[in-house]
Structure 1
Amino acid sequence: MQLPRRDSGRIDVAISARLLAAFSLLVFLSCSVDSVRFSRAAIEEDCMSPGDEDANGLADCDDPSCSSICQQVCGNGVVDGAEQCDDGNQMDGDSCETNCTSPRCGNSIVDMGEMCDDGNGQIVDGCDRACAVSTITYMKASNTNASDRFGTRVALSADGQTLAVGAYQEGSFATGVGGNQADNTATNSGAVYVFTRTAAGWAQQGYLKASNTGIGDLFGWNLALSGNGNTLIVSSIGKGSSSGVNGSQLDDLLPSSGAAYVFTRTGTTWSQEAYLKATNPGANDFFGWSIALSADGATAALGALSEDSSATGVGGDGSNDLAANAGAVYVYVRSGGTWRPQAYVKASNTDAQDAFGASVALSGDGSTLAVGASAEASRATGVGGDQADNTMTLAGAVYTFTRSGAAWSQSSYIKASNTGASDGFGAAVALSGDGTTLVVGATGESSGVTGINGNELDNLATNSGAAYVFGLAGGTWSQRAYIKASNTGVSDLFGSSLAVSGDGNTVAISAIAEDSAATSVGGDQASNSAGNSGAVYLFERSVGVWRQRAYVKASNTGAGDRFGQSAAVAADGATMAVGAYFEASSATGVGGNQADNMAASAGAVYVYR
């Protein structure tokens, strides 16, 4: 799929190679189903004739007087010779009309002011975004092996040109950057792969391992990229070292306490910059379960959903173990290449088994933090409800925190509008770049409705899942939308992963257990013949109103692939990466054979534009 292009003024990050070679350049004032012809007289003849027919020094379709009927979007801004559109080169009569045909999505009419046919008669209604041409890049590890689970996590730089992929069960005993990928003697040690996109396409740039690779460390469990793609933080939740920040990495005294590794890129070369541990490491805390990174790469938040302290708020006593699996979040900051802890963050209503830190998100400037506690048990609904109630098991909650200077404080306590037992609200969270749009996934939510803002209360589709959009205005959060899949199904787990564009107007929501056998974009959603294949749903906000823009599947949909295990979008919403960590092809690299199914759970990633 090509993600439809966004308005250029919305974000100051440009995506290269976004010129689409499949759009028509002519929007006709009068057009029919059978043919596309101009019926007006002199100006149309001048504008559509080869060369500079009206002798004004401008190519005719660059002439402002022709702008109402000549629109170029595909290439070099010139409609050459006898061509009917602009294909990006200067060869006359080179069959551009077949290369630049408009997508025909509906009623066979390209309405005035549009660039494609969206099936209705409304003009200037964003059809150019709704009918974009699709491209899919299929990506595998350079050392594909069964059970590596490549695609467990994905992260994109703001410009969509750098992609990081985690494979937490990869088995090489290599350490550092660029080591031996063929060795397979460190089961489940994990690896991360970095890809970059140029005019020639995607290629792998780096193969990253921990500096202290160990069996069962699960390096690559989670990861995050800075906006420019030059800082990457990777967690290893199985790491057992007991030391603190940049301490000794060699002991294994605290099994599964977890660790994180910071890598930086100079030019095209990656190197490890820091080794991070919790300030109060404990066995089985799973530090690094969730990760978020600010746009400048200088603020990181890491969740440890099984941390056991009973402390509340920010900066409490983390030394006791009185609230098993309550969870915590740790904030680190970088200055001059040196990382240090900034905050130890707990819920305002800490309780055992709440899993605070199951998910985390940071605003672009790193000053707003959202934390999911997917097992929190209050019956409250909405924003600012009763936190002391503990009668709704596994309902879930989200907490937001803000930073002033170096001081963090909790700013809100957020629940679903239809809080229910086992809904898992907060299983995933995502924040827009400015920190004013928050999206929350609740994979266990059970309403059977479809679409936007339907009936939340019917509970007819167990574990179908839902997502909730909240907006911040005047310092107060409020719910703005309740989102369900367009093909809601029992146990689909809609809301499994979330990704949001920089402006908050594009949101990708996955359902890793969705069952359709459709492939690519816009396929048949009603088929349920590929159990747990997974899907991603793309939603767009315009003037405060949300609508579904696309239904996205893998190009090689397979039962059990769990497409949507991870998702990421570029800042402008025009590039999306999706991981399917149980995909089974034994192909390697970019664009390989998708059909062989010879490497169970090897994993794959799909990039859509």
Structure 2
Amino acid sequence: MALSADGNTAIVGGQIDNDGAGAAWVYTRSGGVWTQQGAKLVGAGAVGIALQGAVALSADGNTAIVGGPRDNGNVGAVWVYTRAGGVWSKQGSKLVGTGAAGPSSIAGQGGSVALSADGNTAIVGSPFDGNSGAVWVYTRSGGAWSQQGSKLVGTGAVHVANHGSHVALSADGNTAIVGGSDISNVVAAWVYTRAGGVWTQQGGKLLGTSAALDTLAGCTVALSADGNTAILGGSQYNHGTGAAWVYTRSGGVWSQQGDKLVGAGAVNDVYGAWQGGSVALSGDGNTALVGGQRDNGVAGATWVFTRSGGLWTQQGAKLVGTGGIVANQGWSVALSADGHTAIVGGPYDGARPGPYVGAAWVFVNNPVLSTIPSIASGGVMNGASFLPGIAPGTWITIQGTNLSATTRTWTDSDFLGNNLPTQLDHVSVTINGKAAYVYFISPTQLNVLSPDDATQGSVAVQVTTTQGKSNVINAVEAAFSPALFTFSQQDGKYVAAVRADGAYIAPPNLISGLTTVPAKPGDTILLFGTGFGSTTPASPIGQLVNPAPLANQVTVRIGGVTAITQFAGLVSPGEYQFNVVVPDIPNGDNAVSIEIGGSSSQANALLTVQR
């Protein structure tokens, strides 16, 4: 099974559906309620019993890959699906890698699958290829998939490696980890990196310390979003008790981080709990999920571990979903990018002696909001001027109650490559039905970047949390909503200005602990704002950007005098910078305004000048 980055889309595979044809089901969450989205996914063109059911999702949940390792007499294949408007459709024909080896090319391609965050890179495991295993990489361009290079076979394997029994990819798709088992089933995994479209093995195979024989470690693997943290599961460690090992990468070198992870509270029978039978990591690599499908007489359970300061500790008691019937919970697991949503599979759930329908359980660790979120009347405003009116690519402030259970800004782990996050801790915002980009959340205020939208006029703004959807507030959207950022003190009337040498420009002692100086005529100063529209070349809203000049001309006035503008453009998402020369104006507080497209920034912005 797999989860989208925000945890709101899940895909669950069922290999033995329809007498082994296999299938996958997609579920979506809204307001804390899960519903199946469309019919089950069954790849066309399958030959014989395919066992379709190994699954992976892109970060946005709009691309899915499903493996069928027994297709065409165990050659194996994978199918790709894409979602548009809530409808899933197959993308192209099934993928079968070239160069398979072994008796009758029985490779088992699709025994494991993984996708990059953008869904444009896929890795496919084939644990039986050539009696040692291999993996294939595919890339997508313009909706078409093609194999990237030859199959990957790890060096240093001893005996039957089962290379490719499990696979994982970093968010950018440039780091892959491939699980297998070394001689006598001891922990083993291989890491590959991509540069210029070429894959190479990074270092030797990973062998967990303290791993005894028959650990089957390395058969389950997961990676953090940046690819610098890996976890390997070994379900047969210590006579079936099981364990997991964490590794970190620094300067291209991998090392084990701490001792093996073994969850407390396991109920081991003669076969053990099989901890490490499945593993997952959050995007930042600080939360790990470890499944143990044979805990408590095949009821199964899952353990959560968190990392702080490089040390791993178990978080709470083991997770066991209610209503399970000897389900083998923990057979498969997945985590959302923020680590707050976990899904746990139990493929054998159902009354004995069968048939085994299977089920999945979802767990969340978010603080519970007491009430539905509510946006205040007039609570949608420009994030710099705090006045009504918004524009595409503008920083917006939303005020209200119960907007979030937590308070934080985005961090690096919230990003998916260059893409800004559209949710933080399951708090999201739509403007005219399109997802905004969420920078800051708190119970009473959100700061978001408005999405690209050509609509001018009234647009609906709505907040969604785990408790449901807020009321809808209508805001007026235009092509421009120019506003200057100001220092927070003095009712925000002094513009946030910086001299070219880095000195802050404001009246002396305006800000406690910060040295401020007045501007002088002839100084080159930097002003900052939002809502100034498009650039040339165009900068995509919702992504990290390179500085680019504005597409439309601006007029900067200080003290009523037009200032020379040396640069006017976008320097970071939603933030515009203006390099201007202070004109020959009197001492004192002088009004500052910037006009673009017939609209002007707020009227009460001031700049202090002292000759």
Q: Give 2:281's aligned amino acid.
A: V
Name stretches of at least 5 consecutive residues in structure 1 with no aligned partner: 1-153, 172-186, 241-254, 309-324, 378-392, 447-461, 516-530, 586-596
> Quick check: 1:584 aligned with 2:350?
yes
Q: Counterpart amino acid of 2:165? A: A
Shift of 1:571: 0.4
Q: Secondary structure at the match of 1:564?
A: coil
Alignment of 1:111-510 (within 5 A): 154-171=1-18, 187-199=19-31, 201-206=33-38, 207-213=40-46, 215-220=48-53, 222-240=54-72, 255-274=73-92, 275-281=94-100, 282-308=104-130, 325-343=131-149, 344-350=151-157, 352-374=159-181, 376-377=182-183, 393-412=184-203, 413-446=205-238, 462-481=239-258, 482-488=260-266, 489=268, 491-510=272-291
Equivalent pair of 2:325/2:349 in contact (CA under 8 Å):
yes
User: What is the CA deviation profile of residues 163-214 of structure 1, one whole-angstrom value per residue up to 9, with x for unaligned ones?
Assistant: 111111111xxxxxxxxxxxxxxx2111111111112721111221111255
Residue-by-residue CA offset, 1:455-491 (whole Å, 9 max, x unaligned): xxxxxxx121110011111221111132012035352
Separation in structure 1 between the aligned mates of residue 274 and residue 338 of structure 2, nearest angstrom = 26
Q: TM-score, normalised by structure 1?
A: 0.56
What amino acid is aligned across from residue 278 of structure 1 in structure 2? G
Q: Match of 1:504, as an amino acid?
A: G
Work out which of the residue numbers 531, 547, 562 in structure 1 matches 2:313: 547
Counterpart contact for 1:583–1:600, Cα < 8 Å: no
Matched AA of 2:133 = G
Could you list the per-position Cα deviations for residues 30-76 of structure 1 after superposition, in whole angstroms to 9, with x for gaps in the alignment? xxxxxxxxxxxxxxxxxxxxxxxxxxxxxxxxxxxxxxxxxxxxxxx
1:570 Cα deviation (Å)? 0.4
Q: Aligned partners of 1:394 and 1:236: how far apart in 2?
A: 24
Task: For residues 508-536 of structure 1, give each alpha carbon's deviation from its aligned partner in whole angstroms, at most 9, with x where no partner exists.
Answer: 10110000xxxxxxxxxxxxxxx111000
Q: 8 Å contact 1:540–1:546 — kept in the other structure?
A: yes
Please state how far the C-alpha of 1:217 moved relative to its aligned partner. Answer: 1.5
Check conservation: 1:326, 1:351, Cα contact below 8 A: no
Residue 352 of structure 1: CA displacement? 4.8
- In the alignment, the residues of structure 1 paired with residue 168 and residue 319 of structure 2 have an alpha-carbon distance, to the nearest angstrom, of 24
TM-score normalised by structure 2 residue count = 0.56
Shift of 1:159: 0.5
Q: Structure 2 unaligned runs (5+)?
A: 365-611
Q: Give the direction of change, closer, same or farther, for the CA distance of 1:194–1:474 in structure 2 (3 Å limit).
A: same
1:469–1:479: 8 Å Cα contact kept in structure 2? yes
SS in 2 for 1:208: coil
Q: CA deviation at 1:286?
A: 0.6
AA in 1 matched with 2:6: D
**Bigger relative contact order (CA 8 A; separation at least 6):** 1
In the alignment, residue 26 of structure 2 is paired with which amino acid?
V
Compare CA radii of gyration and give the structure with the larger one: 2
Given that residues 324 and 350 in structure 2 are in contact (C-alpha distance below 8 angstroms), is that contact kept between their aligned partners in structure 1?
no
Q: Deviations over 1:122-177 (max 9, x none)?
A: xxxxxxxxxxxxxxxxxxxxxxxxxxxxxxxx110001111111111111xxxxxx
- Partners of 1:421 and 1:479 in 2: how far apart? 18
Check whether the contact 2:217–2:276 (CA below 8 A) recurs between aligned residues. no
Cα distance in structure 1, aligned partners of 2:48 and 2:197? 37
Give the length in aligned residue pairs: 352
C-alpha contact 2:55 2:66 (8 A) present in aligned 1: yes
Q: Which moved more, 1:531-540 or 1:282-291?
A: 282-291
| Distance in 2 of aligned mates of 1:280 and 1:267 | 37
Q: Distance in 2 between matches of 1:473 and 1:563?
A: 34
Quote the RMSD (CA, aligned, Å).
1.6
Aligned residue for 1:166, secondary structure, equals: strand
**Residues 497 and 567, structure 1, Cα contact 8 Å, conserved in 2:** yes
CA distance in 2: counterparts of 1:491 and 1:405, whole angstroms: 45
After superposition, the Cα gap between the structure-2 partners of 1:195 and 1:598, relative to the gap in structure 1 and judged at 3 Å, is farther
Q: Could you tell me how far apart the structure 2 residues matched to 1:329 and 1:163 are?
A: 24
Task: For 2:227 and 2:321, locate their aligned partners in 1 and report how far apart those are by CA, in whole Å.
Answer: 31
Q: Is the 8 A contact 2:348 2:357 kept in 1?
A: yes
The runs of at least 4 consecutive aligned structure 1 residues that moved more than 4 Å come to none
Q: Which has the higher strand share?
A: 2
**2:338 aligns to what SS in structure 1?**
coil
1:261-281 deviation line (CA, Å, top 9, x unaligned): 000111111111131002124
Q: Show CA shifts across 1:223-277 (max 9, x none).
A: 100000000000111110xxxxxxxxxxxxxx11100000011111111113100
For 2:206 and 2:279, the matched residues in 1 are separated by: 17
Give the 3 Å change call, closer, same or farther, for CA 421–513 of structure 1 in structure 2.
same
- Percent identical among aligned pairs is 36
Report if aligned partners of 2:187, 2:218 keep a CA contact under 8 Å in 1: yes
Quickly say closer, same or farther: Cα 1:465–1:598, change in 2 above 3 A: closer
Question: 2: CA distance between counterparts of 1:475 and 1:535?
Answer: 35
2:355 aligned residue: 600
